[in-house]
């Protein structure tokens, strides 16, 4: 048998050598953090005489994009997290080469608001449900709701689920998150808020004023031996709007009270809202009393009382709410049937020698039961969610009043408070 040996040149001719290629990725760089929408720019070369057929991008072993030719320039969406990426070329000789990349998309910073829905119509208080994420490694510190540029609610953590009282109309609302790295993001919420608001009722004409002498608390008109008071509107020295109302209580009979009452609807109203034909009151079921109150001497402030009253068709409804500062330090609500105050577990914490913001939300149910919904003090909202029964009144009574009352302490020390931006909303 004859054996023939091939020369090296013959071997090269007999067996085709594979083509070699390379992929140069100019964007993004390997082992970097990238945006959720990342631009990929790459070019390829090959020893294949016929050239490069296509260039593509694999993300986590899935082909996401292919471009014919030797170059690629495209944007690919990536989900948050770590990704194994390969930018690959294919040549016309059947070869392929890739350049691997490791890319990380940080958790996106942003706010998701599920309620209220932008574009919707809401009533008060509107329930806000939202959550936040951040690129900060140590997370979200707090979230809040701004209403017309003023912080209306704030809570620590990454989520909100709370009622927030809004002005009627189309207020400017922004939900904001603050992270632990010093950053923050916001998202707007556009809603229409229903209801009618009587603004600055602390300046209304027609406020009634009485003393209430302990221990029986019988009503008396000035002059009233044992208790003294004054009410002065249009004050400019201590104010948040430029015009507040000053209330001074004093006297000699311990634990006596002074009651101021504004007939906002119905009998006694001085602003043409008498409801003389009795068509408005039966339609009303929701009420908000919202006010700034200045405390000049918290140490002698026994109680501060804020009431909403409704009288119609022989039914009386008093949503009485008081900050029982020196007798338990909690908020009390009024029991119409037994004519007594009932403690809640809600602490009453007011700032001394400073302005405080108080908002009361109540409702008249279909059967005239009174629902105490919530109280907000200095941005902190607490649900009350208690129902009480109404009480009988003379059938001739017709209207609504907003009351403010100051209760004297054990020595009936002279005490001064101010109200400002006092608004009453109904629908």
User: pLDDT band for position 5 (50/70/90)?
Assistant: very low
Average pLDDT over residues 18-34: 88
Query: Mean pLDDT, to the nearest integer, of 219-238?
Result: 95
Work out the percent of the chain whose per-residue pLDDT is above 90. 80
Phi, psi of 385 (to 5 degrees): 55, 50
**Confidence label for 3 from pLDDT (cuts 50, 70 and 90):** very low
pLDDT tens digit sequence for 354-411:
999 999 999 999 999 999 999 999 989 999 999 999 999 999 999 999 999 999 999 9
In angstroms, the CA 202 to CA 403 distance is 10
| pLDDT score recorded for residue 142 | 96
Token pair 């501060």 is found at 304
With a cut of 70, say whether residue 184 has pLDDT above it: yes
d(CA 226, CA 232): 21
pLDDT band at 271 (very low <50, low <70, confident <90, very high): very high
Banded pLDDT at 18 (limits 50, 70, 90): low
Q: Which pLDDT does position 167 carry in this prediction?
A: 81
Q: Which CATH superfamily is domain 110-193 in?
A: Immunoglobulins (2.60.40.10)
Whether 49 and 18 have beta carbons less than 8 Å apart is answered as no
Spatial distance between the Cα atoms of 118 and 129, rounded to a whole number of angstroms? 12
Residue 124: the pLDDT is 75
Q: What is the pLDDT of residue 368?
A: 97
Q: In sequence order, what are the residues at sequence separation of 6 or more whose Cβ sits closer than 8 angstroms to the Cβ of residue 376? A: 165, 357, 358, 359, 361, 382
Taking 60 as the threshold, does the pLDDT of residue 7 lie above it? no
At the fourth CATH level, the homologous superfamily of domain 197-426 is Galactose-binding domain-like (2.60.120.260)
Structural contact between residues 199 and 212, judged by C-beta atoms closer than 8 angstroms: no
Assign 136 a pLDDT band (cuts: 50, 70, 90). Answer: confident
State the span(s) of the chain assigned CATH 2.60.40.10: 19-105, 110-193
- pTM more than 0.75: no
pLDDT of residue 265: 97
**Which residues partner with 347 through β-bridges?**
330
Looking at 14-18, 189-193, 316-320, 334-338, which range is the least confident one? 14-18
Residue-level pLDDT at 218: 86
Residue 34 is predicted with a pLDDT of 79
Give the mean pLDDT of the chain.
Answer: 91
The confidence score (pLDDT) of residue 108 equals 63
Q: What is the pLDDT of residue 371?
A: 98
Query: What average pLDDT does range 121-132 have in this prediction?
Result: 88
Predicted pLDDT at 181: 82
Q: What is the mean pLDDT of residues 150-167?
A: 91
CATH 2.60.120.260: which residues of the chain?
197-426
| pLDDT tens digits along 55-103 | 999 999 999 999 999 999 999 988 878 899 999 999 999 999 999 999 9
State how far the Cα of 305 lies from the Cα of 244, in Å rounded to an integer: 18
Rounded CA separation 229/294 (Å): 17
Residues 261/400, Cβ–Cβ less than 8 Å: no
Contact of 403 with 259, CB cutoff 8 Å = yes
CB 235 within 8 A of CB 421: no
- Please tell me the distance from the alpha carbon of residue 415 to that of residue 426, in angstroms, as a whole number: 31
Mean pLDDT, residues 203-222 taken together: 93
The CATH architecture to which 19-105 belongs is Sandwich (2.60)
For residue 427, CA distances in Å to 192, 195, 197, 285 come to: 14, 5, 9, 6
Percent of the chain residues past pLDDT 70, beyond the cut? 95
pLDDT, position 37: 79
pLDDT reported for residue 17:
56
- pLDDT exceeds 90 at position 206: yes
């Amino acid at each position: 048998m004859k054996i023939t040996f091939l020369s090296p040149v013959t071997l090269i001719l007999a067996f085709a050598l594979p083509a070699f290629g390379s992929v140069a990725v100019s964007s993004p760089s390997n082992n970097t953090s990238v945006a959720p929408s990342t631009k990929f720019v790459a070019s390829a070369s090959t020893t294949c005489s016929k050239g490069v057929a296509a260039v593509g991008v694999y993300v986590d072993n899935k082909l996401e994009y292919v471009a014919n030719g030797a170059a690629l320039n495209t944007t690919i969406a990536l989900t948050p997290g770590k990704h194994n990426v390969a930018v690959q070329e294919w040549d016309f000789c059947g070869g392929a080469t890739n350049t691997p990349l490791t890319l990380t998309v940080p958790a996106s910073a942003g706010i998701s608001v599920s309620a209220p829905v932008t574009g919707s119509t809401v009533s008060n208080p509107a329930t806000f449900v939202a959550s936040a994420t951040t690129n900060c490694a140590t997370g979200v510190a707090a979230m809040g709701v701004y209403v017309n540029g003023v912080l209306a609610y704030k809570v620590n953590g990454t989520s909100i689920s709370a009622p927030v009282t809004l002005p009627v109309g189309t207020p400017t609302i922004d939900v904001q998150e603050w992270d632990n790295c010093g950053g923050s993001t916001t998202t707007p919420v556009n809603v229409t808020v229903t209801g009618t608001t009587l603004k600055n009722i602390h300046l209304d004409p027609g406020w009634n004023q009485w003393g209430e002498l302990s221990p029986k608390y019988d009503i008396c008109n000035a002059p009233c031996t044992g208790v003294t008071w004054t009410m002065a509107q249009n004050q400019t020295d201590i104010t948040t709007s430029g015009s507040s109302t000053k209330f001074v209580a004093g006297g000699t009979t311990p634990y006596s009270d002074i009651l101021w009452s504004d007939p906002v609807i119905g009998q006694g109203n001085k602003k043409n809202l008498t409801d003389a034909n009795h068509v408005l009151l039966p339609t009303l079921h929701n009420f908000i009393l919202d006010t700034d109150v200045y405390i000049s001497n918290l140490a002698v402030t026994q109680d501060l009382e804020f009431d909403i009253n409704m009288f119609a068709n022989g039914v009386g409804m008093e949503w009485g709410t008081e900050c029982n500062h020196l007798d338990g330090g909690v908020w009390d609500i009024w029991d119409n049937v037994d004519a007594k105050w009932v403690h809640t577990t809600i602490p009453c914490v007011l700032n001394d020698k400073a302005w405080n913001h108080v908002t009361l939300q109540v409702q008249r149910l279909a059967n005239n039961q009174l629902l105490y919904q919530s109280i907000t003090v200095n941005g902190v909202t607490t649900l009350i969610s208690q129902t009480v029964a109404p009480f009988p009144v003379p059938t001739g009574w017709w209207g609504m009043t907003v009351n403010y009352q100051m209760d004297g302490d054990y020595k009936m020390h002279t005490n001064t408070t101010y109200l400002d931006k006092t608004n009453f909303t109904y629908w």
